[in-house]
Amino acid sequence: MQNLMARLKPCAKFIDWIEPLHETAIENTGLTDFGEDQSYLIGLNKLLEQQDEESDLQVPVGYALKLLFVLEQRLKAEQRFKHNPGVLDINIEKPLVITGMVRTGSTAMQHLAGGDPNRQHLQYWMSEYPQPRPPREAWAEHPDFVACQARLDHLYSRVPETKAMHFNAADIPDECAHLMAQTFTDEYWQICSRVPLYNEWYEHCDMVPTYKQHRKLLQLIACNEPEKPWTIKYPVHLKHLKSFLKVYPDARIIWTHRDPASVLSSYTNMNATNRAMSVRPETLDREDLFHEQMEVWADATARAVEVRKQYPDAQFVDVHFDEFVAEPVQQMKKAYTHLGIEWTEAAEQGMTSWHLDHPRHKHGKHRHSGVSGYKTSPAQVHERFSTYLKAIDVRLDQEGS
């Protein structure tokens, strides 16, 4: 950390961090190759230009450390590609992808789906430190696994309520955020700080380079079990469905649904809690955050509706939040069947076991104000999401939960 702080000290602007960040990443890892595709620099530049335009960061060096970590993991990934040249020939065929708006049950579904031993899953520590997945018995002593779990434990001790909002552990499946962060194109950056200029670019940029890097990282992680099919999850894939399907054209997609009013009240509270850890308190505006995400996701769902029309019905299946909560294993069986994925006894046993051991609210209930805590009414939210709601018969709540 000291070497980074020393390099950043003379910088008059955030954009001047580019060279010091790269120099520090090289020094810390002993590696120099950030990859042939330099498009990651576009996102990094956009983030730093945004902070020069308007910054709400409480401790800028904390932000710099996040950027540095991503650059270090990118260096390490490129080195591992060189050491494992055959990984890029691994075929990722018909991955099962869980996506949909945030807060629609997709995390619970991913954790449940992790009980299927016939498929491979993106464990949290693998997403944070992409590398050939070691044997399960070696994880507990692996320094990256230990560091990952320690970071999560620190988060939950610092902000205990985050455990109820979105529980993670190093050894259970996680979403694809860390993989996508390697190109600085991920919603994480719009959550930890208010970045309207970055958002304007990110929400409509070409994400094909991001997904090509994402695929390479999955190939790297999978190289010890190359024939085993993937199950992955991330709401952000819905935002960029057109680019995602260019890279994974045969993906099988579970689209999760819930009343957007319920989604936004829950998501805003979670985002506000996360953003509060990195920004100055007086800059945190929940109303602004609610409206920002309403616009982002209304546009995203409308785009996804149009993209879906270009693909066979057999490639998509809809799962509604209330039905999944009521019968999670049965909903997964129906999804597998519709998508042409074999439903085995081992899958049913594994998912049933997970469900029985992890009842809803096991880590606490996420408490928030509901839509009534904001100026925008449920009816106004529903009107903004009219394209999505007309295309798919989403169950609507009175207030949201």
350-395 tens-digit pLDDT: 999 999 987 765 555 545 555 667 888 999 999 999 999 999 999 8
The answer to whether domain 94-180+205-391 has CATH 3.40.50.300 is yes
**3-state per-residue secondary structure call for 293-311:** HHHHHHHHHHHHHHHHCCC
What is the share, in percent, of the chain residues with pLDDT greater than 90? 83
What stretch of H or E contains 117?
A: none
With a CB cutoff of 8 Å and minimum separation 6, the contacts of 310 are none
198-226, pLDDT tens digit by residue? 999 999 999 999 999 999 999 999 999 99
**With contact defined as beta carbons under 8 Å apart, do 241 and 303 qualify?**
yes
Question: For residues 121-151, b (16+ Cβ closer than 10 Å) or e, as one string?
Answer: bbbbbbbbbbbebeeeeebeeeebbeebbee
Q: Is 93 helix (H, G, I), strand (E, B) or coil?
A: coil
Domain segments of the chain as ranges: 1-83, 94-180+205-391
Q: What's residue 362's pLDDT?
A: 54
pLDDT at residue 399 tops 50: no
In one-letter notation, the amino acid at residue 384 is: R
pLDDT at residue 254 tops 90: yes
Q: What's residue 401's pLDDT?
A: 39
What stretch of H or E contains 100?
A: strand 96-100
155-189, pLDDT tens digit by residue? 888 888 777 677 889 999 999 999 999 999 998 89
**3-state per-residue secondary structure call for 280-297:** CHHHCCHHHHHHHHHHHH
